[in-house]
Amino acid sequence: MAEKAIEAKKKGQKKSSEDYTYAGMVFHRLTRHKLAMVGAFMLIFILLFVFVGPLIWRADPNTQIEGLGGLFNPASRAHPLGTDDYGRDVLARMFFGGRISLFIGFISAISSTLVGALVGLVAGYYGGWADNILMRFTDAMLSIPTFPLLIALASVLGKGVWQIILVIVVFGWMVDARLVRGLVLSLKEQEYVEAARAIGASANRIMWRHLFPNTLAVLIVSTTIGIGGAIIYEASISFLGFGVQAPFASWGNMLQNAQQFIWNSPRLIIYPGLAIFMTVLGFNFFGDGLRDAIDPKLKL
């Protein structure tokens, strides 16, 4: 069959799905998924906004304009999105706030996925009492009320970007643990795992070389959707006052800050709110498409 593919390429015939590598096939399917492409465009726009924006519009996000006249300015040539309650340029704050929110979202989503995957992999592969202990621990963590633990952690660790990431990871890994454990339980029964055992492969090798790569598909999807969730989570934490501290901006604390000015200057809520909405939606659409693209049985 591979020979046929090479011949086919020479004749200029269209490639069929047999001819792609696995990654190539996923990419090919992904580009045909309408929702995923919409999501991808939204994300590309956001990324360009946040990383290229400051190169075009050079303003400092923390500089305050002197005098009361500089506060709550509407959109103008000097400040395309206006100024906020401290007279700071909103557009610049959107750029840098976005970078922080995306950074937090990305790092915490990946970290919580990896932690969860590790737990799920070990629990699923070993089974027995290891599985029992790990899963009961997972259940316990899921039952802990978020807010009191949040306050407790904050009082011990203080407030800041790394603290938020830690909190999100602490509250987020359980979902992936359950997901991966379930997947591993079924993958374990596949014949190629038995083949690996027959060769004499160690437990570690089987877990990381055989089981883990086959869970990647699910984990990637979980991560992309998790980023959206983490960004919203960061916004909520900042809303409660535990997040990124002034004068630094994140979309979350911008939103929090602006709530008191909802009558004066609704813009200050709309901009970060819209940005969060677009980012989360973009990640969700893209994640949906990725999930569909990865499942080879689904006809696209």
Partner 1 sequence: MATSLVEVQKLRKWFPIKGGIFSTTVASVKAVDEVSFFINQGETLSLVGESGSGKTTAGRTMLKLLQPSSGKIIYKGKDITDLTPNQMRPLRRNMQIMFQDPYGSLNPRMPVGDIIQEPLDVHSIGTRRERKQAVATMMETVGLRPEYEKRYPHEFSGGQRQRIGVARALVINPELLVLDEPISALDVSIQSQIINLLQELQQRLNLTYLFIAHDLAVVRHMSDRVAVMYLGKIVETAENDELFDHPLHPYTQALLSAVPVPDPEVKRERIILQGDVPSPVNPPSGCHFRTRCPYVMPICKEQEPLVIEVAPGHTVVCHLLTKK
Partner 2 sequence: MDNREVLVDIKNLRTFFYTEDGVVLAVDGIDLTIHRGEVVGLVGESGCGKSVTALSILRLIPNPPGKIIGGEIFFHGEDLLKKNEEAMRLIRGDKISMIFQEPMTSLNPVYTIGDQISEAITLHQKIDSAEAKKRTIEMIHLVGIPEPERRFGQYPHEMSGGMRQRVMIAMALSSNPDLLISDEATTALDVTIQAQILDLMRGLQKKLGMAILIITHNLAVVAEMAETIAIAYAGKIVENSTAKEIFKSPRHPYTYGLLASIPKFTEKRTNEPLPAIEGMVPSPYHMPKGCRFNPRCPFATEKCREEEPEILELTPGHLVRCFHPIES
Note whether 186 binds partner 1 by CB under 8 A: no
58 binds, among partner 2, partner 1, none (CB under 5 to 8 A by kind): none
Q: Which is nearer to partner 2, 18 or 194 (CB)?
A: 18
Note whether 7 binds partner 1 by CB under 8 A: no
The amino acid at residue 63 is T
**Shortest CB 185 distance to partner 2, Å:** 23
**Element holding 8 (H helix, E strand):** helix 2-11
Out of 44, 151, 195, 262, which residue is the one contacting partner 1 (CB under 8 A)? 195
Note whether 31 binds partner 2 by CB under 8 A: no
Q: Which is nearer to partner 2, 29 or 99 (CB)?
A: 29
Task: With CB under 8 A as the rule, give the number of residues binding partner 2.
Answer: 12
**Element holding 272 (H helix, E strand):** helix 267-294
In SS3 terms, 136-193 reads as HHHHHHHHCCHHHHHHHHHHHHCCCHHHHHHHHHHHHHHHHHHHHHHHHHHHCCCHHH
Give the whole-angstrom CA distance, residue 70 versus residue 68: 5
Task: With CB under 8 A as the rule, give the number of residues binding partner 1.
Answer: 27
Backbone φ/ψ region at 163: left (φ over 0), alpha (ψ -120 to 50), beta: alpha
Note whether 12 binds partner 1 by CB under 8 A: no
Q: Which is nearer to partner 1, 31 or 190 (CB)?
A: 190
**Shortest CB 3 distance to partner 2, Å:** 9
The greatest distance separating any two alpha carbons of the chain, rounded to the nearest whole angstrom, comes to 78
Out of 10, 12, 14, 147, which residue is the one contacting partner 2 (CB under 8 A)? 14
CB atoms under 10 Å from CB of 191, counted, come to 8
Site string for partner 1, 14-53 (x = CB under 8 A): ----xx-xx-------------------------------
**Shortest CB 130 distance to partner 2, Å:** 34
DSSP 38: H
User: Cβ neighbours of residue 35 under 8 Å, at least 6 residues apart?
Assistant: 285, 288, 289
Phi and psi at residue 73, to the nearest 5°:
-70, 140
Burial of 137: CB neighbours in 10 Å, binned 0-12, 13-18, 19+: middle
Identify whether the C-beta of residue 72 lies closer than 8 Å to the C-beta of residue 261: yes
Q: Which is nearer to partner 1, 94 or 217 (CB)?
A: 217
Using CB under 8 A as the binding rule, the residues of this chain from 204 to 243 that contact partner 1 are: 205, 209-210, 213-214, 216
Out of 168, 202, 231, 300, which residue is the one contacting partner 2 (CB under 8 A)? 300
Q: Which is nearer to partner 2, 7 or 139 (CB)?
A: 7
Alpha-carbon distances, residue 201 vs 130, 194, 198 (angstroms): 20, 10, 7
56 binds, among partner 2, partner 1, none (CB under 5 to 8 A by kind): none
Note whether 6 binds partner 2 by CB under 8 A: no
Q: Which residues bind partner 1 (CB under 8 A)?
A: 1-3, 5, 18-19, 21-22, 190-192, 194-202, 205, 209-210, 213-214, 216, 296
Q: Which residues bind partner 2 (CB under 8 A)?
A: 1, 4, 7-8, 13-14, 16-18, 32, 299-300
